[in-house]
Structure 1
């Protein structure tokens, strides 16, 4: 059964346009609260957010919804998504909420939900909550309405948690690190954690004003980070996205290192120290074929899933892996957390560079990626261009052409009306031609 409101990563959309309105946020609070009110204990939900202007509006609406059904609310303020997941567990909460649209522009926002175990909700739970959103929810009696309070030390708790993932025998003394916080949720915690571990920190993207989150900064716009690393003579640069569950790294020469290279670095490091579970890592269909070949040469495997960190995590849990993620920089290290954590992943990368005693450019460029091209084609909402016969025929011909020498991945976005067309292979010109033919066919059918 298709979900009506939830996409691949919660509910997301343009602020003040359905479904991302205050009225809907209150309904989500009432529905999710009602779903998780079980037993006779005082029920609790923790709510974090990034730095978007609309976070204030949605936070207040969620508080109204949760308290209306009898849930107490703990407000964390601006904090990374993985911090919300961690604090949901550590505070014995029944539910966790993150208000964020991740790497999207400030005008978008979203609501992500975590269960009491700190994991994102299952499809079944989201469907049940959707049914409650569209139905009637019983409100608490006047004397049972929930209370709301703000926790002032949430940032400190997360900093301590993140630092605990860094090896006890290492320090970052003498290492100049540029950290780009995307003017988002990690603008305070990431520079502080790095400084406390001894790094000389150059922080950018740490002046949020409600409207500049992800604007020309962060993991989806690493040019400023690259320029700052080179200009400052830093050893390395790390970029987080708006809610800090994504990581991209820049080496000392300003060259961008994507999630595939980072996962390869962490997995091989774990394997060398006997810490890698599952004999490899989990990645999505978007990860480069070069990663798969590199891991195979190391005697390690690669399990592929559909796009979305929730599917990566599901496979990790089902198969017993402790490293997984996406090329875009969502990296999940299940030894340390229940969701992607850009800062924790960055600390593992910094540890590998420290151990090697070599430049980041030598340590982190693990393999030469195959030529890969991704293009997006917009279509009208409600359209189904991938069902057109002309598009199906074009895709079939492309798959036959790349058989044995490359890969083709075509999928609709889970958050916007866009078809993503990706191909890779040994011949860059062939890859580009294949992608362009499919994009043209999709446009003609849209």
Structure 2
């Protein structure tokens, strides 16, 4: 059964100009499947509004005024007990100092002391304030207590004349990624997973090459999902427009031969490999050192096969390793995918359908069939690539556990 994003998140807006982004963060968290509640300091409401936060959260906002309302409850304790994670965004220098000092003079710090299970800070402040020894000492103390941080990042700052620097709050999408990481069970902890992604480029000359439209999104989704589940992740990536995932060892390559070398070098240290890259099958037999000028008539180019990385891994696979391949077919998909599964000694193969609506190259969704050596076929339907990644990793984990049990029984 594939997992889905879930968890309860309280988002506390501190008194900085970046509080203008807090409603967007709440909205992104809800879109990602989290339950959310909003908390705002009085100073935060100078930069955003209670109405904006309430609409984004889909419910009332916890404020200082409500904390002291004559209702007979303890709002800070209610929030602490309800939340799986407290996200402070933006987190100011003053907020960090109060929390590090163990104070409970505002609703956010009282919620922390009231038993918040996990705390994630998203700092936003002037670079001098962030780099000040007092702030850094507060950060280290909070880290020692188990608190986590996302950012700050280098970028344009809010105040007139500040320019750029290290102190900008991470974007809502980045914070959501960290929330997902902190709320995902670490069922792949202790394993090393190698993932390949993206296309390769096989050059005719310095400016022309054979390639394909692969965006790398499927492989990157697998790498990010494995990271969130606690695995050490190595991502060998062909050329893509995607940012390198945080918390992942990324190896950039361009040609199939480079990917072949990078994967084989690291294969012995891995527990599982997911080959999601769209590696070119052919390369020009000769690559010109200079750009080939245009000429009249036909130009015949001799092609040579590229290394079959997956087949080589199948030959080298140790008894405890798991090997997953991807197949992209426009005709006789199951027959060809099953033949590839058997020929290359795979544990699982994911069959893509590039000509089906909504699952073509470059999109955020995919539709695959998972084929197993015992003849089983499992269809995902059209879902987000992250959901496909989770389904694949569910089976990777099952296979790893089964192989460990076989080894222990011997």
Answer whether TM exceeds 0.5 for this pair. Answer: no
TM-score if structure 1 supplies the norm length?
0.25
TM-score if structure 2 supplies the norm length?
0.26
- Structure with the greater relative contact order (CA < 8 A, sep ≥ 6): 1 or 2? 1
Greater radius of gyration (CA): 2
